[in-house]
C-alpha cells in the first residue's frame, strides 16, 4: 500500500540516494539543498512498504503578468523515483498528491522543468502543458570589449529586487527569496555568484555557475545586448572564457505549467508564453 506524505528528517538518507540515482548529483551539490533549503514540509514523498520510492521538492513562486495579474505557483524540483520502481505509476501518483496538497496550501498552479527532453511527454500525460520558453546561446568573453561600468557581487535580496525591475514588462516566474538563496548557494559552490552590472551600456543581471575551468554557465542573464557584453567582459574569470547563457525570449520549450482548478485551465490563454528563469538544473 502506498503512503503519500510530507517527508521527515529520518527520510534524508533515502532522499539523497534517490536524488543521486536519478540525476547523478552528489557531494556538495546535494549538500547545498539539504543543508540550506531542506525542511520536511518542502519535500513530498511516496512510500511503499515502508520505503520512500518517489520524491519531489518544491519552491514557492509567483507567476507575474505585465498587466499586474499574479498567481501563486509551486515549482516542483527533483522529481525522482528509484530505478527499480519506475513504470509502476509512483511518480504520477506523487504528482497528483502534490496538486492536492499544494492547492490546500493556497497555490493555484504547479510549474516544473523536465530534467530531460523526453520527460516533457511524461509531465504532459500528468496534466502539465508547455508554457515557459527561453533561449540559450554561447558567448566568449572578448578582451577587446571595453566596459564603461562596474560589475559587483550582490546578495540574493538585491538580486531578486533587480530581477523584478528588469522583468517588469515580461510575463515571468518571480521565485521566492528562499529559491534565490538556494541558487546563490549552488553558484557559490562552483565558483560563481550573483552579479549586477551598471554602466553607460545599461544594466545587466547575471547568475553564474562554474562548469569547468574553461566554461561558465549563466543560469540567467538579463539586460540589453550592449550591457550583457560589457558585463561578460567584467566577470572575474579572465578573458577568453566561454559562457553558456540563458535569457528570456526564444522558442526553447523549457518549463511546464499545470493549473490546479479546471476553471483556471479552461480560461487560460495557452498561446501566450512566459519566462521561468533559474531552474536549478
Q: How far is CA 7 from CA 1, 21, 114, in A?
A: 17, 18, 22
Please state, in angstroms and rounded to a whole number, the distance separating the CA atoms of residues 239 and 242: 9
Residue 260 contacts residue 128 (beta carbons within 8 Å)? no
Query: According to the model, what pLDDT value does residue 33 have?
Result: 93
Report pLDDT digits (tens) over 166-190. Answer: 999 999 999 999 999 999 999 998 8
In the structure, what pLDDT confidence band is assigned to residue 143 with cuts at 50, 70 and 90? low
Query: According to the model, what pLDDT value does residue 144 have?
Result: 62
Q: How far is CA 252 from CA 138, 247, 248, 281, in A?
A: 15, 11, 10, 15
**Burial of 92: CB neighbours in 10 Å, binned 0-12, 13-18, 19+:** middle
Most confident of 22-36, 144-158, 188-202, 225-239: 188-202
CA atoms within 13 A on the CB side of 64: 18
Which of 206 and 145 is assigned the larger pLDDT? 206
In this prediction, what percent of the chain has a pLDDT beyond 90? 79
Give backbone dihedrals phi and psi of 267, rounded to 5 degrees, phi first: -95, -5
Residue 154 contacts residue 166 (beta carbons within 8 Å)? no
**Mean of the pLDDT values across residues 194-209?**
95
Report pLDDT digits (tens) over 23-51. Answer: 988 788 899 999 989 999 999 999 999 99
Which domains are assigned to the chain? 2-133+252-267 (3.40.630.30), 140-250 (3.40.630)
Query: According to the model, what pLDDT value does residue 277 have?
Result: 95
In the structure, what pLDDT confidence band is assigned to residue 122 with cuts at 50, 70 and 90? very high
pLDDT of 146 > 80? The answer is no
**Burial of 166: CB neighbours in 10 Å, binned 0-12, 13-18, 19+:** middle
Please state, in angstroms and rounded to a whole number, the distance separating the CA atoms of residues 278 and 253: 14
pLDDT of 197 > 90? The answer is yes
Nearest-10 crossing angle of helices 27-36, 177-189: 150
**Mean of the pLDDT values across residues 243-256?**
95
The pairing of strands 193-199 and 150-153 is antiparallel
Amino acid at each position: 500500500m502506498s503512503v503519500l506524505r510530507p517527508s521527515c528528517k529520518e527520510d534524508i538518507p533515502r532522499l539523497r540516494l534517490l536524488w543521486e540515482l536519478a540525476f547523478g548529483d552528489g557531494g556538495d551539490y546535494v549538500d547545498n539543498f539539504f543543508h540550506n533549503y531542506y525542511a520536511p514540509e518542502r519535500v513530498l514523498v511516496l512510500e511503499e512498504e515502508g520505503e520512500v520510492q518517489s520524491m519531489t521538492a518544491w519552491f514557492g513562486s509567483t507567476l507575474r503578468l505585465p498587466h499586474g495579474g499574479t498567481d501563486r505557483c509551486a515549482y516542483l524540483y527533483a522529481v525522482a523515483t528509484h530505478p527499480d520502481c519506475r513504470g509502476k505509476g509512483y511518480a504520477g501518483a506523487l504528482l497528483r498528491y502534490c496538486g492536492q496538497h499544494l492547492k490546500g496550501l493556497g497555490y493555484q498552479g504547479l510549474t516544473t522543468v523536465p530534467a530531460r527532453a523526453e520527460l516533457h511527454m511524461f509531465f504532459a500525460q500528468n496534466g502539465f502543458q508547455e508554457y515557459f520558453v527561453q533561449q540559450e546561446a554561447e558567448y566568449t568573453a572578448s578582451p577587446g570589449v571595453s566596459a564603461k561600468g562596474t560589475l559587483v557581487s550582490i546578495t540574493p535580496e538585491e538580486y531578486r529586487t533587480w530581477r523584478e525591475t528588469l522583468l517588469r514588462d515580461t510575463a515571468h516566474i518571480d521565485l521566492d527569496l528562499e529559491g534565490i538563496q538556494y541558487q546563490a548557494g549552488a553558484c557559490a559552490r562552483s565558483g560563481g555568484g550573483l552579479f549586477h552590472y551598471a554602466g553607460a551600456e545599461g544594466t545587466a543581471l547575471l547568475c553564474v555557475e562554474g562548469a569547468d575551468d574553461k566554461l561558465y554557465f549563466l543560469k540567467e542573464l538579463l539586460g540589453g545586448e550592449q550591457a550583457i557584453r560589457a558585463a561578460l567582459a567584467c566577470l572575474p574569470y579572465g578573458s577568453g572564457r566561454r559562457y553558456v547563457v540563458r535569457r528570456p525570449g526564444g522558442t526553447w520549450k523549457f518549463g511546464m505549467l499545470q493549473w490546479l482548478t479546471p476553471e483556471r485551465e479552461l480560461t487560460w490563454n495557452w498561446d501566450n508564453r512566459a519566462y521561468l528563469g533559474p531552474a536549478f538544473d
